[in-house]
C-alpha cells in the first residue's frame, strides 16, 4: 500500500523533502501557513555555495570573540538577554569551535554541499527555471593588505578540499566585475558555486513542480502534532490531517512543534536582514560579492542589488534592529555605486542553527514515523535538495547520497 506523508513547512527544505519523497512513490501533502518559499528561503543571498564547508563556529571564532564582545561589529551582534536565556546553545556553539571538533564537521558539510549544485540544476531544469541560475560563482573580497594572507589561507583550505577557487589580482577582478570600485587588495573567485536571481521564486517553482506531479499543497497554520494510531496527526487551524509519516521542516520554527512531544531541540537562530538598492546607471554585478572585512554580501537580484547583513543573535521574534544593515550600507557603497532603495521595506529572516552548525536529518528518537529536516543554518538554500534526498532515502531504506550519521537527530535527542 502507498504510504502517505505530510511535510510541515514549505521553505526550500520542506519543498525539497516533498519532491524527494514524491519521487519515491509516497503520497505527499505539503503544508505551510504561507505560500511556499516566503520566509527564510525568500530573503537569503541566493548563493548555491560549494565553498561553505567551514562552519561559522570554527577555531577562528575564538580569535574574533574579543572583536564581537563589544557588540559593534557588523559580522556578529547579540542581545545579551537572549544569550543569557539560552546558555546551553551558546556554550554548545562555542564548544564546537574547538579545533578538535572541526574536521568531522567540515567533512559533514562537504558531503552535503558536494551534491547541492547538481541537484539544484536538475530541479531547475525540471521546473523550467534554469534561466534563474547564474553559473558565474561568487567573489570573496578583502580590502586590507592583511587580507592577502587570509585569502591565500582560504584558497589553500578550499583547494585541499577539492573546491575550485581562483585568486584574482586587481586587474583580473576589474575584468570580471568592471563596476566594482578598485578598493580590494585580494579576491577569490569561487568557481564551483552559482547563484540565483530570486530565491523565493525558485522555491515557488519547485513547489509548483511538486503540485504538477500530483502533490497536494495546503495553506494552513499548524498548531500541533501528535501520534494517531500507527500514524501521525497534524492539527492546523483549518482542520486535521492524518498520514502514515510526518516530516517537520519548519526551519527556525521547528523546535516549538516538537516540544510537546518531549523532543527538546537545541535550535537557535542567527538573524539577518536584507534591502534592495538600485545600481547607478550602467553599473552592474555579474555575481554576488562577499566583502569579508566589511561583513556584508551584495547579490544581484531581479529587484536590484540585495544587500544582506551578518549575524544577529537575538530571539527569532524580537523587534528589528537595523544597526547592522545601516552599518554595512556605506561600506557597500564604497565598493559599488548603489543609489536609492528599490523598495521601502527591510526584510528580516532567521537562519536556523544547531550548536554544531549541522542540520538534523532523520527519524526522531522514540517516535517512529516522525522525521526531522531542519537546522540548515547559513546554507539551507543550497542544501535543501540534498537534505530532501537524504531524508527520503532514509524513509525508504535506500542508501543516502551522504552519510546521514553526522545529521542524526539522536546526537541531541534521546
Ligand atoms: C540574510 C541571510 C542570507 C542567507 N544567504 C544564504 C545563501 O546565500 N545561500 C544559502 O544556501 N543559504 C542562505 N541563507 C540560509 C537559508 O536562507 C536558510 O538556511 C534556509 O532558507 C532555511 O530553509 P528552511 O526551509 O529550513 O526554512 P524556511 O524557509 O524558513 O521555511 C520554514 C517554513 O515553515 C513555515 N511555518 C512556520 N511555522 C508554521 C506553522 N505553524 N504552520 C505552517 N507553516 C509554518 C514558514 O511559513 C516557512 O515557509 C541565508 C539566510 C539569511 C537570513
Alpha-carbon span 24 to 241, nearest angstrom: 21
Beta carbon of 241 within 6 Å of any ligand 1 atom: no
Q: Give phi and psi for 298, each to the nearest 5.
A: -130, 115
Distance 117 CA to ligand 1 centre (A): 18
Helix (H) or strand (E) holding 88: helix 87-95
Determine the pLDDT at residue 123.
Answer: 98
Beta carbon of 378 within 6 Å of any ligand 1 atom: yes
Per-10-residue mean pLDDT of the chain, 414 residues long, equals 96 99 98 98 98 96 93 97 96 97 98 98 98 98 95 97 97 97 98 98 98 98 97 98 98 98 98 98 98 98 98 98 98 98 97 98 98 98 98 98 98 97
Determine the pLDDT at residue 83.
Answer: 96
Give the cell for residue 264.
527538546
Q: Give phi and psi for 333, each to the nearest 5.
A: -70, -25
Beta carbon of 253 within 6 Å of any ligand 1 atom: yes
Alpha-carbon span 117 to 383, nearest angstrom: 9
Report yes or no: 333 and 229 within 8 Å, Cβ to Cβ: no
Helix 380-395 × helix 102-113 angle, to 10°: 90
ipTM, interface predicted TM-score of the complex:
0.99
Give the Å distances, CA to CA, from 360 to 49, 110, 308, 309, 365: 20, 15, 25, 25, 12
Beta carbon of 308 within 6 Å of any ligand 1 atom: yes
Sign of CA dihedral 207, 381, 160, 136: positive
Beta carbon of 398 within 6 Å of any ligand 1 atom: no
Beta carbon of 52 within 6 Å of any ligand 1 atom: no
Q: Where along the chain do its domains lie?
A: 1-50+102-129+198-264+354-414
The highest-level CATH class for domain 1-50+102-129+198-264+354-414 is alpha beta
Alpha-carbon span 116 to 41, nearest angstrom: 15
Q: Beta strands 4-8 and 245-248: pairing type?
A: parallel
Which residue in 218, 223, 263 sits closest to 360, CA to CA?
263
Task: Report the first-to-last Cα separation within the chain, whole angstroms.
Answer: 31
The per-residue DSSP string of 38-81 comes to: -SHHHHS--EE-SS--S-SSSTHHHHHHHHHHTS--SSEEE-HH
Report yes or no: 339 and 304 within 8 Å, Cβ to Cβ: no
Helix (H) or strand (E) holding 196: strand 194-196
Distance 46 CA to ligand 1 centre (A): 12
What residues does 300 pair with on adjacent strands? Answer: 305
Pocket residue to mutate for ligand 1, from 29, 40, 48, most atoms within 8 A of Cβ: 40
Minimal-distance CA residue to ligand 1 atom 16: 380
Q: Say which residues have a Cβ less than 8 Å from residue 39's Cβ, sequence separation at least 6.
A: 11, 251, 252, 349
Which residue in 390, 307, 316, 299 sits closest to 352, CA to CA?
316
Beta carbon of 34 within 6 Å of any ligand 1 atom: yes
Q: CA 80, 82, 88 angle in degrees (round to 5)?
A: 105
Beta carbon of 328 within 6 Å of any ligand 1 atom: no
Amino acid at each position: 500500500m502507498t504510504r502517505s506523508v505530510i511535510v510541515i513547512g514549505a521553505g526550500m527544505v520542506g519543498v525539497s523533502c516533498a519532491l524527494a519523497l514524491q519521487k519515491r512513490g509516497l503520497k505527499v501533502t505539503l503544508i505551510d501557513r504561507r505560500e511556499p518559499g516566503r520566509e527564510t528561503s525568500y530573503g537569503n543571498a541566493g548563493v548555491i555555495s560549494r565553498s561553505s564547508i567551514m562552519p561559522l563556529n570554527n577555531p577562528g571564532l575564538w580569535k574574533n570573540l574579543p572583536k564581537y564582545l563589544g557588540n559593534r561589529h557588523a559580522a556578529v551582534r547579540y542581545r545579551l538577554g537572549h544569550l543569557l536565556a539560552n546558555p546551553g546553545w551558546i556554550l554548545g556553539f562555542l564548544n564546537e569551535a574547538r579545533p578538535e571538533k572541526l574536521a568531522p564537521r567540515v567533512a559533514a558539510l562537504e558531503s552535503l554541499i558536494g551534491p547541492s549544485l547538481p541537484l539544484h540544476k536538475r530541479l531547475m531544469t525540471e521546473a523550467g527555471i534554469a534561466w534563474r541560475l547564474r553559473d558565474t560563482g561568487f567573489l570573496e573580497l578583502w580590502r586590507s593588505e592583511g587580507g592577502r594572507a587570509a585569502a591565500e589561507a582560504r584558497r589553500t583550505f578550499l583547494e585541499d578540499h577539492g573546491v575550485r577557487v581562483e585568486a584574482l589580482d586587481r586587474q583580473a577582478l576589474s575584468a570580471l566585475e568592471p563596476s566594482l570600485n578598485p578598493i580590494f587588495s585580494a579576491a577569490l573567485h569561487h568557481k564551483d558555486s552559482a547563484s540565483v536571481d530570486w530565491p523565493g521564486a525558485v522555491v515557488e517553482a519547485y513547489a509548483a513542480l511538486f503540485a504538477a506531479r500530483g502533490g497536494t499543497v495546503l495553506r494552513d497554520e499548524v498548531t500541533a502534532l501528535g501520534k494517531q494510531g500507527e500514524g501521525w496527526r497534524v492539527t492546523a487551524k483549518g482542520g486535521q490531517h492524518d498520514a502514515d509519516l510526518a516530516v517537520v521542516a519548519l526551519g527556525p520554527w521547528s523546535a516549538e512543534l516538537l516540544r510537546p512531544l518531549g523532543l527538546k531541540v537545541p535550535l537557535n537562530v542567527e538573524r539577518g536582514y536584507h534591502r534592495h538598492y538600485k545600481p547607478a546607471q550602467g553599473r552592474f554585478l555579474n555575481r554576488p560579492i562577499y566583502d569579508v572585512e566589511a561583513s556584508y554580501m551584495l547579490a544581484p537580484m531581479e529587484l536590484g542589488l540585495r544587500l544582506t547583513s551578518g549575524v544577529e543573535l537575538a530571539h527569532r521574534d524580537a523587534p528589528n534592529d537595523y544597526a547592522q544593515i545601516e552599518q554595512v550600507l556605506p561600506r557597500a557603497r564604497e565598493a559599488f555605486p548603489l543609489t536609492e532603495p528599490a523598495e521601502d521595506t527591510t526584510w528580516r529572516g532567521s537562519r536556523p542553527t544547531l550548536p554544531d552548525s549541522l542540520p538534523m536529518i532523520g527519524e526522531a528518537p522514540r517516535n517512529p514515523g516522525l522525521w526531522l529536516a531542519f537546522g540548515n543554518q547559513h546554507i539551507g538554500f543550497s542544501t535543501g535538495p540534498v537534505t530532501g534526498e537524504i531524508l527520503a532515502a532514509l524513509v525508504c531504506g535506500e542508501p543516502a547520497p551522504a552519510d546521514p550519521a553526522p545529521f542524526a537527530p539522536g546526537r541531541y535527542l534521546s
